[in-house]
Amino acid sequence: MRPVTVEIVAYAPTEFFHCLHCEFIWRETGVGPKIHAEQRASALPPPLAEEYARLGSWACEIQERFGSRVELRVTDVVSLEGFFKVIRHQLRHLPSVIVSGRHVYSAGSLEGVAAAIERELGATGATAPGTEADTSQGAGLSF
């Protein structure tokens, strides 16, 4: 059974690294960690950093709740792939969450996204290990 794909399209922090050998030297001299800490601190303005942290917490909850039945992906909106996702899915509000490549939700209503994941799992027949599918709950979900 294929997992349900959940893709978060958001502004994501970016860090740049040297080659493996250079990174080893920078780390051993103590310069590397300072540079990377500065990059992390300045990668996003405070409101976007808070939003990214909120999305990260939500993604961890989703992974704990659904496990291997859900495949999470994060796409930086300023990347080439992110640009094409914005055009293809006509994303007007960021961050956005795309479920199964078809259903688009604003990250402001993450409860609705969780309900959509449950519906997709019910539609594909994927159940948690050791449980049976309960189709009676799927009809009552709304957001």
C-alpha span between 90 and 104 (Å, rounded) = 9
pTM over 0.75: no
- Residues 1-27 have pLDDT tens digits of 789 999 999 988 877 777 888 888 888
Q: Is the pLDDT of residue 134 over 50?
A: no
C-alpha span between 73 and 89 (Å, rounded) = 16
**Cβ count near 10 (within 10 Å):** 20
Q: Is the pLDDT of residue 142 over 60?
A: no
Domains, in order of start, for the chain: 4-13+44-140 (3.40.30.10)
- Residues 39-85 have pLDDT tens digits of 777 778 888 888 888 999 999 999 999 999 999 999 999 999 999 99
